[in-house]
């Protein structure tokens, strides 16, 4: 501002522009398209929400186009569509004060529309609070939104931006908002593309919308509602990524995980309906939102994709997609010690006992062959974590003892080699770029502890003293604090002794770790060693062994290449 000029805020300009009709209270929300203000309708003595288009969007759409298209949405009368009270372009009066401040520039004009103020919450608010919705609630909300969309589609209006933020929950029913912006912005598609702006949210955007198709029909809204329904059931959208580009890439190339893989209580017909709505090609989706709603509520319906009953298709999907990841994850120790947990007396002192046996090849499946067969079991034995293939990448999955199917851990894309903290509240793992990371079991952001500077996935162990032990690219044992920081070397790599560390297990009292290694090129097989941190010594425990773990009973568990898991008690 020049000398002598007062700084006039956007809220002050808006207040001045609408003073004859509305009394602005405060800003209550903001998004990529508009800012929302709580206001009082002076004439009707009621609270209202005023949405003001962002200046850059208003410039692209233009006042004439906006006012013309908003008339169309004003005629949408449906119990699940948020009604439109008012709209227009408002310009503050020219104001000259004692400091010669003047409001007369183009940015002072506003494009706005007025809706009822909903004293409730958005679907986003509820998902943030509850994460997953009861299946009955999710289906009800989805069918109500589908009804609103079907009504709009029959009137020639495609929303193009269906997402939890645009679904309001009021007095037990869903209300779809923002048809006005969607329609007006869609008619300015070419200009929006030229300026780099886009309508829609990548997480809920159909493949054809992501590709920039200008002619979109009802099926793009069906896809978006499928994403929203998926999130209500699973707790996360079907595709996640660190950037919009990463999400769009997955939308274009990957198939969504079946909701039943994450939540086995989802009915088969609901699972199939959601996956049909999420088909890549519009021709493979439901033709109308009404068809989607019918499929969600009609268990007797036949799958639109396969022609087979829902139950048959989904049961087949569950069997083929989840037998192998769980089998891979178990790989001996998890199933035996955490889940079967034999009595200590069952293992005679200093004797080997075969507790469970299977051929090594049984653990490699087409779906998970490129994911190393490693699993972490929680200290209380109630859950396991393993990595599985998701598209062209990996992700960590959490399997609770009392759950039928594993759940993907959000934010662990590219993760492998998981291991639990001693208290069972954190999961350590390795990700792209050789980074050592941790994430809470209860959910939340992933935290980087150290960077190894390579793409090799290695094993880690979390000690009781708060240190994380891992093997770096050279084969050396290294340590970093659970709070992160600079990693230090505990045991340098021995050039004559290759340490694969296919297993790494903490010893009690933070004394050290068990690890596997083999001389030279491993032609003579690998062995289990114990590394004592305080004494800086390495001790051979079992030769011809492919993995070794310490059990709380004091037993050494180890596996052999030909198959079998063995237990050996320590000498007394």
The tokens describing 278, both together, are: 């999420």
Beta bridge partners of 555: 569
Could you give the CA distance from residue 521 to residue 285 in angstroms, rounded to a whole number? 54
Could you give the CA distance from residue 490 to residue 227 in angstroms, rounded to a whole number? 48
Q: Are 332 and 559 in contact (CB under 8 A)?
A: yes
Beta bridge partners of 513: 506, 531
Q: Please provide residue 558's backbone torsions phi and psi, each rounded to the nearest 5 degrees.
A: -150, 160
Q: Are 197 and 57 in contact (CB under 8 A)?
A: yes
Nearest Cα neighbor of 506 from 414, 382, 422 is 422
Could you give the CA distance from residue 158 to residue 73 in angstroms, rounded to a whole number? 11
From the number of C-beta atoms within 10 Å of its C-beta (0-12, 13-18, 19+), residue 65 rates as middle
Known catalytic residue: 161? yes
Nearest Cα neighbor of 455 from 437, 471, 431, 479 is 431
Contacts of 90 (CB under 8 A, 6+ apart): 14, 17, 18, 109, 110, 112
Q: End-to-end distance of the chain based on CA atoms, in angstroms?
A: 83
Could you give the CA distance from residue 392 to residue 379 in angstroms, rounded to a whole number? 31
Could you give the CA distance from residue 204 to residue 277 in angstroms, rounded to a whole number? 12
| DSSP summary character for residue 316 | H
CA 306 to chain CA mean position, Å: 28
Q: Are 453 and 494 in contact (CB under 8 A)?
A: no
Q: Please provide residue 184's backbone torsions phi and psi, each rounded to the nearest 5 degrees.
A: -65, -45
Could you give the CA distance from residue 464 to residue 499 in angstroms, rounded to a whole number? 24
Residue 500, helix vs strand vs coil: coil
Nearest Cα neighbor of 173 from 133, 145, 193 is 145
Catalytic residue among 150, 161, 236, 472: 161
Q: Are 89 and 109 in contact (CB under 8 A)?
A: yes
Residue 132, helix vs strand vs coil: coil
Q: Are 462 and 422 in contact (CB under 8 A)?
A: yes
Contacts of 333 (CB under 8 A, 6+ apart): 375, 377, 547, 549, 557, 559, 565
The tokens describing 258, both together, are: 């079946």
Catalytic residues: 161
């Amino acid at each position: 501002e020049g000398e002598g000029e007062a700084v006039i805020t956007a809220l002050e300009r808006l207040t001045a522009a609408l003073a004859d009709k509305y009394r602005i209270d405060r800003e209550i929300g903001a998004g990529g398209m508009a800012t929302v203000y709580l206001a009082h309708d002076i004439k009707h003595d009621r609270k209202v929400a005023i949405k003001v288009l962002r200046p850059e969007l208003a410039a692209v759409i233009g006042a004439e186009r906006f006012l013309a298209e908003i008339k169309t949405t004003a005629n949408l009368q449906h119990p699940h569509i948020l009604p439109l009270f008012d709209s227009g372009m408002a310009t503050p009066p020219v104001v000259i004060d004692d400091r010669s401040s003047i409001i007369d520039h183009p940015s002072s004009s506003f494009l706005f529309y007025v809706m009822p103020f909903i004293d409730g919450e958005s679907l986003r608010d509820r998902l943030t609070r509850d994460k997953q919705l009861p299946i009955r609630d999710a289906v009800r909300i989805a069918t109500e939104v589908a009804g609103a969309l079907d009504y709009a589609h029959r009137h020639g209006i495609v929303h193009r931006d269906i997402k939890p933020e645009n679904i309001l929950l009021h007095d037990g029913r869903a209300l779809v908002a923002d048809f006005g912006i969607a329609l007006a912005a869609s008619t300015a598609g070419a200009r929006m593309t030229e300026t780099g702006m886009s309508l829609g949210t990548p997480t809920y955007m159909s493949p054809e919308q992501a590709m920039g198709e200008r002619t979109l029909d009802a099926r793009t809204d069906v896809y978006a509602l499928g994403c929203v329904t998926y999130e209500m059931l699973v707790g996360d959208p079907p595709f996640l990524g660190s950037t919009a580009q990463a999400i769009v890439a997955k939308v274009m190339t990957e198939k969504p995980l079946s909701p039943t893989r994450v939540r086995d209580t989802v009915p088969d017909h609901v699972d199939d309906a959601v996956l049909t709505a999420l088909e890549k090609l519009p021709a493979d989706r439901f033709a109308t939102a009404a068809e989607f709603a019918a499929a969600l509520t009609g268990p007797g319906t036949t799958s639109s994709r396969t022609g087979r009953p829902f139950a048959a298709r989904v049961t087949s999907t569950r069997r083929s997609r989840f037998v192998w990841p769980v089998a891979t994850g178990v790989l001996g120790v998890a199933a035996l010690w955490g889940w079967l947990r034999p009595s200590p007396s069952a293992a005679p002192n200093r004797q080997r006992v075969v507790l469970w046996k299977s051929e090594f090849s049984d653990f490699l499946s087409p779906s998970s062959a490129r994911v190393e067969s490693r699993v972490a079991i929680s200290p209380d034995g109630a859950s396991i974590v393993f990595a599985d293939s998701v598209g062209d990448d990996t992700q960590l999955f959490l399997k609770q003892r009392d759950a039928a199917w594993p759940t993907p851990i959000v934010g662990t894309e590219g993760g492998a080699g998981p291991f639990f903290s001693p208290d069972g509240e954190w999961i350590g793992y390795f990700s792209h770029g050789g980074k050592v990371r941790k994430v809470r079991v209860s959910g939340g952001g992933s935290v980087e502890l150290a960077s190894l500077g390579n793409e090799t996935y290695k094993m880690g162990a979390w000690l009781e003293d708060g240190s994380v032990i891992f093997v770096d690219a050279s084969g050396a044992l290294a340590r970093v604090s659970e709070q992160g920081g600079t990693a230090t070397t505990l045991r340098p790599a021995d050039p004559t002794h290759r340490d694969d560390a296919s297993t790494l297990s903490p010893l009690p009292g933070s004394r050290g770790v068990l690890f596997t290694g083999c001389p030279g090129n491993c032609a003579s097989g690998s062995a289990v060693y114990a590394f004592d941190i305080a004494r800086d010594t390495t001790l051979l425990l079992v030769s011809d062994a492919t993995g070794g773990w310490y059990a709380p009973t004091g037993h050494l568990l180890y596996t052999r290449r030909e198959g079998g898991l063995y237990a050996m008690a320590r000498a007394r």
